[in-house]
Amino acid sequence: MLTDGALRMIVLLHFHILGFTPLQLAYLFLLYEFLGMITNLTAGWIAKKFGLNKTLFAGIIIQIISLLILSQVNQSWAIHHLVIFVMFTQGLSGIAKDLTKMSAKSSVKLLSPDQNSKLFKWVSLLTGSKNAVKGIGFLFGALLLSYTSFYISLVIMAILLSTIFIVILLSLNTDIGSVNKKSKFTDIFSKNKNINYLSLGRVFLFSSRDTWFVVGLPIFLYSALSDGSLEGNKKAFYIIGSFMAAWTIFYGFVQTITPKILMKDKLFSTQTKIWAGLLCLIPILLVALNYYLKEYSVYNVMFLLFVFGFVFAINSSIHSFLILNYTNKDRVTLDVGFYYMSNAFGRLVGTLLSGLTYEYGGLTTCLLVTSILLLLNSLSIEKLNLVDVKFN
């Protein structure tokens, strides 16, 4: 997650400086999300046949390879050659990231106690810490690009990831999860209504976030903070990386404490619907504030996006608990893989919308589309047969 966050920040800022438009920047990440979607769809089945250890190791190795290939990019190439080459390397990163994420999330179901409240706490802790590390990666990537070259940044990350891989390989010497060589590929599709509606909600939830987060927000901040000079770029990189890191770390921290935030005297099912509805209002508030002030203030945007991050983190943590609650240990890798395929599809849609909406309508259009997607998420959650967890 550290190198994944760092790589996204490095690619986004570096190629924006080279003159890529918001839509072209979005293109760079489309194959990342598409192959992540395919990976999640098949990774659960692969893990069922070969074990979670294998998918974890494969994810790390592929990420190292993608970093080394991307380091060979030639900035003198024609822009369409650059786009295709970077899309390919980002596609490999998408495969790598989702192999490791599916392996980690499935392991929680297999290793955690059967009690719902304990499972919720374990899921919240893992999901929150993962996102906190990714947030640190955003800052790490921005700092690398500020003080070293694009090439050296990628080589440093490849060395770091290789070291981590060796440590994991030496310490993780037992298989995780049951292996079933006879598992059919068609088993990846869930017949559970709750899992299907939850997966649909996940599409809308994460497409809503990435509609403003992937391209719109960084380019908006860069436009507001940099004068185009070398020093101006360095300052903008630092602030953008710091904000996105702080936002993601904050988002991850809130996920870890979600079980404590949810009220013990109200039904879990009721709270799930309330938090989903509340999230729809924040982008609309930002748009209304801009209309009132006649112009977006960087500080107002940052503050309200932290409020968004707080509510979004609670919704995301609830989703992550529900998928593991609805599945069982025999199907966990299959159902989690299918669910995170929906997550990746949502990010794919959000990435494309981020470039389109910012290029043709700016941050306001990004936020309006975000609010529509969040309304669709709320409607999907209404279709679930929600469990009621007793909090300790």
pLDDT in tens, 29-87: 888 888 878 887 776 666 666 667 777 888 889 989 999 999 898 878 888 888 889 88
Burial class (CB in 10 A: 0-12, 13-18, 19+), 124: buried
Mean predicted confidence (pLDDT) in 86-109 = 77
Using pLDDT thresholds of 50, 70 and 90, give the confidence band for residue 369: very high
pLDDT of residue 378: 93
Using pLDDT thresholds of 50, 70 and 90, give the confidence band for residue 370: very high
User: Residue ranges per domain, the chain?
Assistant: 2-382
**pTM of the predicted protein model:** 0.75
Return the structure tokens found at 210. Answer: 């990435």
Model confidence at 177: pLDDT above 60? no
Span 306-343, pLDDT tens digits: 999 999 999 998 888 888 778 776 777 677 778 878 88
CATH code of domain 2-382: 1.20.1250.20
Positive or negative: CA dihedral 152, 156, 161, 162? positive
Q: Angle at Cα 80 formed by Cα 150 and Cα 147, nearest 5°?
A: 10
CA 84 to chain centre: 22
Reference 39, options 94, 108, 109; nearest CA is 94
Model confidence at 106: pLDDT above 70? no
pLDDT of residue 373: 96
Return the structure tokens found at 183. Answer: 């598992």
| Rama region for 116: left / alpha / beta (φ>0; ψ in -120 to 50; rest) | alpha
pLDDT of residue 350: 93
Q: Say what angle helices 298-326 and 268-293 make with each other, to 10 degrees.
A: 160
Q: Angle at Cα 376 formed by Cα 301 and Cα 311, nearest 5°?
A: 40
pLDDT of residue 13: 83
Model confidence at 372: pLDDT above 90? yes
Span 248-284, pLDDT tens digits: 889 888 988 888 888 665 666 778 888 999 999 999 9
Model confidence at 113: pLDDT above 70? no
pLDDT of residue 100: 78
Mean model confidence pLDDT for the chain:
81
Reference 255, options 200, 319, 198; nearest CA is 319
Least confident of 162-176, 237-251, 354-368: 162-176
- Provide the 10 A C-beta neighbour count for residue 364: 17
pLDDT of residue 187: 59
Three-state secondary structure along the chain? CHHHHHHHHHHHHHHHHCCCCHHHHHHHHHHHHHHHHHHHHHHHHHHHHHCHHHHHHHHHHHHHHHHHHHCCCCCCCCHHHHHHHHHHHHHHHHHHHHHHHHHHHHHHHHHCCCCHHHHHHHHHHHHHHHHHHHHHHHHHHHHHHHHCCHHHHHHHHHHHHHHHHHHHHHHCCCCCCCCCCCCCHHHHCCCCHHHHHHHHHHHHHHHHHHHHHCCHHHHHHHHHHCCCCHHHHHHHHHHHHHHHHHHHHHHHHHHHHHHHHCCCCCCHHHHHHHHHHHHHHHHHHHHHHHHHHCCCCHHHHHHHHHHHHHHHHHHHHHHHHHHHHHCCCCCHHHHHHHHHHHHHHHHHHHHHHHHHHHHHHHHHHHHHHHHHHHHHHHHHHHCCCCCCCCCC
Q: Angle at Cα 93 formed by Cα 91 and Cα 157, nearest 5°?
A: 145
Contact 32, 90 (CB under 8 A): yes
Contact 67, 97 (CB under 8 A): no
* C-alpha torsion 82→87→89→94, nearest 10: 160
CA 295 to chain centre: 29
For the chain, how many residues are written?
Answer: 392
